[in-house]
């Protein structure tokens, strides 16, 4: 019973924090200088980590 109450209270706290964080969006630009042979590998790594977009500059 005590474990249930602790779990319920922590989940309520996390839900409140998640709602507050919804309003805050940050953007980060990363410039990666690599060989043409590594482009696909770099893209795959970035998209694996939830990158929203990738632009190639030649």
Q: What share of the chain is helix, strand, coil (3-state, %, to 5)?
A: 60, 0, 40
Q: What is the pTM of this model?
A: 0.50
* pLDDT tens digit sequence for 1-56: 788 877 777 777 676 666 655 566 677 888 889 898 999 999 999 888 888 888 88
Record the tokens describing residue 28, joined without a space.
């980060």
Domain ranges within the chain, ordered by starting residue: 25-58
């Amino acid at each position: 019973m005590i474990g249930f109450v602790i779990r319920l209270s922590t989940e309520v706290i996390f839900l409140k924090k998640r709602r507050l964080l919804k309003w805050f969006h940050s953007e980060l630009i990363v410039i990666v200088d690599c060989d043409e042979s590594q482009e696909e590998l770099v893209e795959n790594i970035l998209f694996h980590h939830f990158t929203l977009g990738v632009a190639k500059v030649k």
